[in-house]
Structure 1
Amino acid sequence: MPFQIIRNDITKVKADAIVNTANPDVAVGRGTDCAIYHAAGRDRLLAARKKIGIMHPGQAAHTPAFNLNAKYIIHTVGPAWIDGNHDEREILHSCYEKSLNLAAELSCRSIAFPLIATGSYGFPKDEALQIALAEIDKFLLSHEMEVILVVLGRKAFELSEKLVGDIEEYIDEHGIAELHEAEYGIWYGSERWERPEQNKTSAMLGAPLFPDVSGMSLDEILERSEDTFQQKLFKLIEESGMDDVTVYKKANIDRKVFSRIRCKKDYKPTKKTAVAFAIALQLDMPAMLDLLSRAEIAFSPSSKFDLIITYFVTNKVYDIYEINAALFKYGQPILGA
């Protein structure tokens, strides 16, 4: 998929370009910088770094990757956090923007980032994450490249306290009680059947079911067959007014995967791919559940993944990067393909 968040040591990641949080001076720093020098080969990398010279915060430059499983190391100098009033955010935006643009100039097909400036430089992790996601999002809308955000562990990966609190409250509220099938909202095609006693939560999480077909012959039932997932997806794309490229980029879907979907009428997506398209198209819960049902995919009130997606959709938040950050935080698979 174009964007991934993974838990790993960045020196062990395979990518065309590895981003280093560089010391502004020609010297080996701490943290990620030190680890990259050690893994790449200290003497040769330091000699190459000397040719760049002193770097200013927000700049980016490249050297060979030497012993790393990469072609290039892109060095960028992050901002030291003071109080947020010394252009720290603007500098961090520049780090990501210039690193990504440099990777494009070098014809890289993939790039791996650490969460820049969140170690010894003290940049607040939740804000640093939002800046990283914003710049990656902007870049991928106009470029084809695999961008990997690498973190050592989920504890080093922070969302805003409010978002974490809201998600956890939502999971607690809607995930504790078992919701029985009798309470579910029933969805079939574009029609809806509701039981009078149905509550809001049940309607949001209820699996799409078939309507009452008692008294109908098998032939009559089969004649009611509706669009496949692929057919419905492309109808929704047409109705949205977005072109294919915009949709697959907003869904964090690789262009080749999207081409296969377009060509294969009976394509069966994974759950995370189907949900990614629903997010890109900004579908509400009924429309999303209907689309997923055509791929034989249902939602469950006992699934943390499903509850997190439901939280964002019911709150009309369709930023796939923000959603993926939350899914990663809670140990769930991220959206895309």
Structure 2
Amino acid sequence: MATFLWMGDITQIAADAIVNAANSELTRQPGICDAVFRAAGADALRQACEELGRCPIGHAVVTPGFHLPAAYIIHVAGSEWYGGSRREEVLLEQCYRNALHSAVAYDCKKVAFPLIFSGDYHIPRSRAIEIAGRAITSFTAAEPLDVTLVLYRPGIFRLAQMLLGWPTLNPEAPEAASH
């Protein structure tokens, strides 16, 4: 249905689900994942992830949102960047698609993504933004789902604005738009 950009803390956005950039073991790690664990309640989320076991790279699994505004956390396991020689871009696009399919399976109408698996040891940010845009735009053309790409650094936010041209949500109101 609609796609948006928002600059802020993904753990504060009002959406039915947020996406967490996880590892295959679903254990707490630095970055977005750590922020999600802290905001959701680390012990409860750790226990839920342990019960799920593993998540293969490119796949998605779902836990409750616990203390988050979001009802669900969709965890996706991504790959490190090896210069593109190991299908990293294909796997990243699978992460987006599988997370979106999970959102629909859980009757979500609004979902928020960080820019998953970009930066240090991962896909270069401009490519990650292009892949996110392609996967999200393609999916929302066929499904009634509002998707917000949440970025927390001004430079990356401006790059996403330039590359995607999506409308921006009000910075004072961390609510995923509803239509």
* TM-score band w.r.t. shorter chain: 0.7 to 0.9
* 3-state SS of 2:82 partner: coil
Q: Which residue of 1 aligns with 2:41?
A: 41
Identity %: 36
Displacement of 1:159: 4.3
Q: Which residue of 2 aligns with 1:59?
A: 59
Task: State the alpha-carbon separation in 2 of the partners of residues 157 and 69 from structure 1.
Answer: 22
Q: Which residue of 2 aligns with 1:144?
A: 144
Output the TM-score relative to the length of structure 2: 0.87
Deviations 1:7-48 (A, max 9, x none): 011011110001000121142111000010000000000000
Q: List, as ranges, runs of 4+ consecutive aligned residues in structure 1 with deviation greater than 3 Å.
A: 157-160
- Relative distance call for 1:49 and 1:151 in structure 2 (3 A) is same
Instruction: Report the aligned-residue RMSD.
Output: 2.0
More helix by percentage: 1
Q: Which residue of 2 aligns with 1:231?
A: none
The code of the aligned residue for 1:83 comes to G
Name which one, 1 or 2, has greater alpha-carbon Rg: 1
Task: State the alpha-carbon separation in 2 of the partners of residues 26 and 149 from structure 1.
Answer: 22
Q: Report which structure shows greater RCO (CA 8 Å, sep ≥6).
A: 2
Deviations 1:112-151 (A, max 9, x none): 0000001444210000000000011111111111100000
**Do 1:60 and 1:75's aligned partners in 2 also have CA atoms closer than 8 Å?**
yes
Task: State the alpha-carbon separation in 2 of the partners of residues 2 and 99 from structure 1.
Answer: 16
**Do 2:151 and 2:157's aligned partners in 1 also have CA atoms closer than 8 Å?**
yes
Q: Which runs of 5+ in 1 are unaligned?
A: 165-320, 329-336
Q: Which runs of 5+ in 2 are unaligned?
A: 169-178
Q: Which residue of 2 aligns with 1:323?
A: 165
Task: State the alpha-carbon separation in 1 of the partners of residues 143 and 28 from structure 2.
Answer: 32
Task: State the alpha-carbon separation in 2 of the partners of residues 122 and 153 from structure 1.
Answer: 17
Deviations 1:239-295 (A, max 9, x none): xxxxxxxxxxxxxxxxxxxxxxxxxxxxxxxxxxxxxxxxxxxxxxxxxxxxxxxxx
Aligned length: 168
Deviations 1:159-216 (A, max 9, x none): 49xxx7xxxxxxxxxxxxxxxxxxxxxxxxxxxxxxxxxxxxxxxxxxxxxxxxxxxx
More strand by percentage: 2
Output the TM-score relative to the length of structure 1: 0.47
Q: Which residue of 1 aligns with 2:88?
A: 88
**Do 2:20 and 2:114's aligned partners in 1 also have CA atoms closer than 8 Å?**
yes
